[in-house]
């Protein structure tokens, strides 16, 4: 059964709450007092969960509408910086122990991904981790604002950026629009070599 008790204040679209166990690998692979980048922070639903599970971390929240969403971030004291820019315009000016990019990279067309992965890799400290998810191609590839990609292509982009893929997890995700649709998705967990 889908837990539908979280509602986006911006779109009035009901979404599922993040599941705490989905953050375990990421958080377990961070050092104490880690600095992380929530790449595509939205209203902070993942940042809130990450901060609750690891109060020692600090989080920079990046979103295309970070300024407009600032009111949502004040409830998360670990957020130390708001970065407002389009995902494809992001340039590394700081290095992080981890980058959380769930439900953000999927919004970019394929031609933008190699440079974005390169910038994300440049933003990671050696030994730092990146976690992101993508919708796998299916019969429903025309979901608004989502660009499904083949797993093998994403692994190639990650490797070309100098990161090592440690895990790939197949799961079922949910796309929202006029109706909720379950779609095949996958999570990729990668690390920048020491």
pLDDT tens, residue order, the chain (194 aa): 223 233 333 333 334 455 657 899 999 999 999 999 999 998 888 999 999 999 999 999 999 887 777 777 888 889 999 899 999 999 989 999 999 999 888 888 889 999 999 999 999 999 999 999 987 776 555 555 566 788 899 999 999 999 999 999 988 876 655 666 777 888 999 999 99
> For position 145, what pLDDT does the model report?
59
> For position 4, what pLDDT does the model report?
29
> For position 168, what pLDDT does the model report?
94
Q: In 10 A of CB 55, how many CB atoms?
A: 8
> For position 16, what pLDDT does the model report?
47
Q: In this structure, are residues 118 and 161 in contact, taking their beta carbons and an 8 Å threshold?
A: yes
Write down the residue that tokens 């692994």 correspond to. 155
Q: In this structure, are residues 75 and 54 in contact, taking their beta carbons and an 8 Å threshold?
A: no
> For position 2, what pLDDT does the model report?
29
The class that CATH gives domain 6-191 is: alpha beta
């Amino acid at each position: 059964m889908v837990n539908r008790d979280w509602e986006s204040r911006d779109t009035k679209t009901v979404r599922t709450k993040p599941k705490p166990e989905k953050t375990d690998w990421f958080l377990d692979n961070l050092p104490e007092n880690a600095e992380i980048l929530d790449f595509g922070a939205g209203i902070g639903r993942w940042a809130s969960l990450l901060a609750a599970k690891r109060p020692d971390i600090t989080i920079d929240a990046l979103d295309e509408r970070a300024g407009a969403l600032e009111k949502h971030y004040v409830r998360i004291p670990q957020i130390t910086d708001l970065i407002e820019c389009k995902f494809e315009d992001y340039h590394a000016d700081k290095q992080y122990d981890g980058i959380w990019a769930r439900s953000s990279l999927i919004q970019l067309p394929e031609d933008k991904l190699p440079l974005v992965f390169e910038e994300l890799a440049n933003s990671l400290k050696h030994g730092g981790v990146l976690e992101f998810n993508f919708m796998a191609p299916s019969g429903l590839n025309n979901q608004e604002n989502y660009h499904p990609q083949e797993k093998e292509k994403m692994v190639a982009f990650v490797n070309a950026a100098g990161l090592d893929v440690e895990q790939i997890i197949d799961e079922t995700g949910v796309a929202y629009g006029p109706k909720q649709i379950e779609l095949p998705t996958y999570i990729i967990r990668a690390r920048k070599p020491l």
